[in-house]
Each structure stands twice: as structure tokens, then as C-alpha cells.
Amino acid sequence: MNSADYRSTLHDYAMPAEWQPHLATWISWPHNQDSWPGKFGPVEPVMVQAVAALAASEPVYINVLDAAHEKHVAALLEGHASAGRVKFHRFPTNDAWCRDHGALFVTGRAAGAEPLLALNFGFNAWGGKYPFELDNAIPPQMAATLGVPCVTVDMVLEGGSIDVNGAGTLLTTEQCLLHPNRNPNMTQADIEQALQDHLGVQQILWLGDGIVGDDTDGHVDDLTRFVSADTVVTVIEQDPTDDNYTVLGENRERLAKMQLHDGRPLQVIELPMPKAVEYKGDRLPASYANFYIGNSVVLMPSFNDPNDAVNAGILSNAFPDRKIIPIDCTDLVLGLGTFHCLTQQVPAPPG
């Protein structure tokens, strides 16, 4: 399918919510030690825990650099995740953040539409902050592996900058999508139209700024996430002296006023933030909102904090049909992201 064909049938496709059934979860195995300076050692064991939890109910596809890297990762996973549930792809990347450099998938919702289609948005490493040429080449490789059409979209967009409810609404932030380092020639109206056209949504809800330490310019997946068609969880800071207090309070006020496109109020559940996580004096973007919803589990970042248990309970109530898996991300977050940033779901085609 070429871009012209796709644009003529945009209304036939939509991006499913993350909790809808997955064909697989895709990750790019961490390898760039510059992202975890002096602390790369703990990263791979955390990833082993994550893959083992996911592989219990869905295949996990893993991008690796080459044959030697594949052998290394396979040895780490041995005895933790069934080899039959893990598939390696020798697709080299600059870094591990598959949420942002991977393909975004939409599914057909009308007769004659492709069941599954990959969208290849542009990726520029969050405004040119890091090398990205290998990462930007990943979406077509993912599509080819799956045997699905791939459509290139002339717009920079990272998966972590958006969240959808699978029922016509998308949530994002002004700090990220309106930042001039992404799409300087697009107005807010242009961006909204592109999101509606390509992701099959009817409504865009805008939050303001992101949390301190987030070098992605305010990704929404560190702030607020849909947990059902009409409900979000959102992080809040209870300490008025904390640097995140004001910005999270302002976003909470916005959420309180939001309605869905059918006029229903948006339901909001609060997730209290952990105490500040720092490394060599720098604040890291530790957030409970960066969880990942698998077919039978929710991978929840934990931070050796009293609020770990509080948030596990909140997410358990939000996802009663899934097991909440808290995994210590105190070291992992040095890379400036956790489980949602490191994963990309491949939705199961309808039917």
C-alpha cells in the first residue's frame, strides 16, 4: 500500500488502546552504555525480569545489534523466558527506546481495510539530542518482518508523546508536540489534523509541561495514561517544595475540566509520585505513569519508595484482570525512561 492509497482510506484505521489484545511486544535491547554512564550493569537484569513477565502471555520480539549480541541476550534470558516466546531480530539501533523509534500500529476497522498496518513517523531523537539514523530505520524493518504494509508519514512523532483510549480520544502535551524541534512548519491545527487522520481519533486533549528530568520535552507517558475508555491515571506531587508540584498541579486542573468527545467527563485517578530520584545531583524522570500494559500483566516501575505499594494497589484496581509486576527501576531510570519507553505493542488484528 502506498501513501496515497492509505490517505484515501484513513477513516478505515484506528490505533487500539494499549490494553487491547497484543500480537506481541517489541523491544530494542539496551546496549548504549552512554545512556547509563557507570550503571549499565544493573540494566540488563531488569530487562530480563520484564521480558520474563511479558513472555508468559505474549511473544516478545527483540531487536539486537548482530549475531554476537543475540547470543549474549539469549544467554541472559535462558531459564527466565521460554525460547519459543522470544524472537530476535538483527536490527541495529542507536539506543533502546522502542516506544519512540518503533513503528506505530493501526488496525483496520472497515471492510476491505488491511487488518494491521505500520506507520513510519519520523524520529529525530527528541529534537536532535542524540544520534538517531539507525533508530529512524526501524519501523519499515518491523513491518517487513510482520508482513504488513508500512506507510511513511511526513511528521515527527514519538510513541511516548501520545496515549489513546481506543475510542476516539488522544492525550498529549503542548511542551512536546508543539515544540519547534519536532515539526516547526506545522501549526497546532495541522498537528491535530494529522493525528486524527493517521491514528483514527476524533479528539485531542492537551496537557501542558512534563516532569523534571525528562529530556523528551514532556512526554505524556510520564504524566497521564488512559486505563479505560473514560478513565486516566495521572501522577501528582504532594510536596509543595518539590520541583514537580506546580506543573503536575496545573495538569491535574486541566484534567478536571476535560470531557470526552461524547460529552462525558473524564474520570481521573491520582498516582502519588515517588520521592526525587537523583544521580550525581541530576533529577531523573522517575514516574509511576511509565508502566506498560501487557496481555496479562502490567509492568510497573518501582523506586524503593513507600509509594511503590500504594501505586501497585491503585493499578491493581484499574486493571483487575492483570497482574501488577513492580520491578525496581532505580537504576534503569538513569537512562531517562522505564518500561513504557522501552516497549512497543503490536496490536492483534481484529477478528
Q: Which domains does the chain have, with CATH numbers?
A: 3-347 (3.75.10.10)
pLDDT surpasses 90 at 6: no
Supply φ then ψ for residue 120, to 5 degrees. -105, 80
Q: What is the pLDDT of residue 128?
A: 97
Query: How far apart are the C-alpha atoms of 89 and 8, rounded to whole Å?
Result: 32
Beta bridge partners, 163, equal 171
pLDDT surpasses 70 at 123: yes
Q: What is the pLDDT of residue 10?
A: 60
Query: How far apart are the C-alpha atoms of 186 and 225, rounded to whole Å?
Result: 25
Name the pTM for this structure: 0.96
pLDDT surpasses 70 at 307: yes
Q: When comparing pLDDT for 156 and 351, which is higher?
A: 156
Count CB neighbours of 110 within 10 A. 10
| Burial of residue 39 (number of CB atoms within 10 Å: 0-12, 13-18, 19+) | middle
| C-alpha cell belonging to residue 311 | 501505586
Residues with Cβ within 8 Å of 350's Cβ and at least 6 positions away in sequence, in order, are: 107, 108, 109, 115
CA angle (266, 272, 276) in 5-degree steps: 135
Q: What is the pLDDT of residue 67?
A: 98
* Residue 341: active-site member: yes
pLDDT surpasses 70 at 60: yes
Count CB neighbours of 94 within 10 A. 21
